């Protein structure tokens, strides 16, 4: 192998002296997911098993985050009025009102964004909100109209166990 130089007898890193003494390996880092979710790990694991609660939390996060972004995009443009006469977003609650009415497809048109970033945030919140609110509603509906077959199977199993226990108690009853 011409052109490449190799160093013979390269020392092992573990025995290489450093400024502070011998080589000391750093401890293993935990995965990023463990660090980020550590305080809420049990809560997050529980939440992932329950789709209705997950959708509710995601919807609330979307509305709060969207209204905050919308407020910061629009609060300086409070003096501008729109051509259609709708009021601009002056407070965070105006932004929340717009996000909620957009996410539930019930927008009244009384409050509207006037800047381009505000309109982009409003469009994103409307699309994601329609998806999340629709999924949340569908999850609740499917929970309400689900087949009770699993409940009936459990009840039948409990009845069989109770019957078996009663038979055993009757058989062991001392005659006297």
Mean of pLDDT over the chain: 75
Q: Say yes or no to pLDDT of 124 above 60.
A: yes
Measure the CA angle with vertex 75, ends 73 and 81; round to 5°: 100
Residue bearing the bigger pLDDT, 99 or 48: 99
The whole-angstrom separation of Cα 68 and Cα 50 is 27
Tokens 């964004």 — which residue? Answer: 113
Q: What is the DSSP letter of 91?
A: S
* Greater pLDDT, 56 or 146: 56
What's the rounded Cα separation, in Å, for the pair 59 and 53? 10
Domains along the sequence of the chain with CATH = 59-146 (1.10.287.70)
Which positions ≥6 away from 113 have C-beta within 8 Å?
70, 73, 74, 88, 89, 98, 119, 121, 122
Q: Which residue has the tokens 């809560």?
A: 43
Average pLDDT over residues 62-80: 84
**Rg of the chain on CA atoms, in Å:** 32
């Amino acid at each position: 192998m011409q052109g490449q130089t190799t160093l013979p007898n390269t020392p092992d890193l573990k025995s290489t002296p450093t400024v502070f003494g011998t080589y000391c390996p750093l401890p293993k880092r935990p995965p990023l997911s463990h660090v980020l979710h550590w305080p809420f790990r049990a809560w997050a694991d529980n939440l992932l098993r329950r789709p209705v609660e997950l959708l509710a939390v995601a919807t609330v996060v979307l509305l709060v985050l969207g209204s905050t972004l919308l407020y910061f995009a629009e609060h300086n443009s409070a003096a501008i009025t729109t051509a259609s006469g709708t009021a601009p977003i002056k407070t965070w609650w105006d932004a929340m009102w717009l996000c909620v009415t957009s996410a539930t497809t019930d927008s009244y048109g009384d409050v509207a964004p006037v800047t381009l970033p505000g309109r982009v945030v409003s469009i994103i919140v409307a699309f994601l909100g329609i998806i999340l609110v629709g999924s949340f509603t569908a999850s609740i509906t499917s929970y309400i109209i689900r087949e009770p077959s699993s409940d009936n199977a459990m009840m039948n199993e409990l009845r069989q166990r109770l019957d078996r226990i009663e038979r055993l108690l009757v058989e062991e009853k001392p005659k006297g």
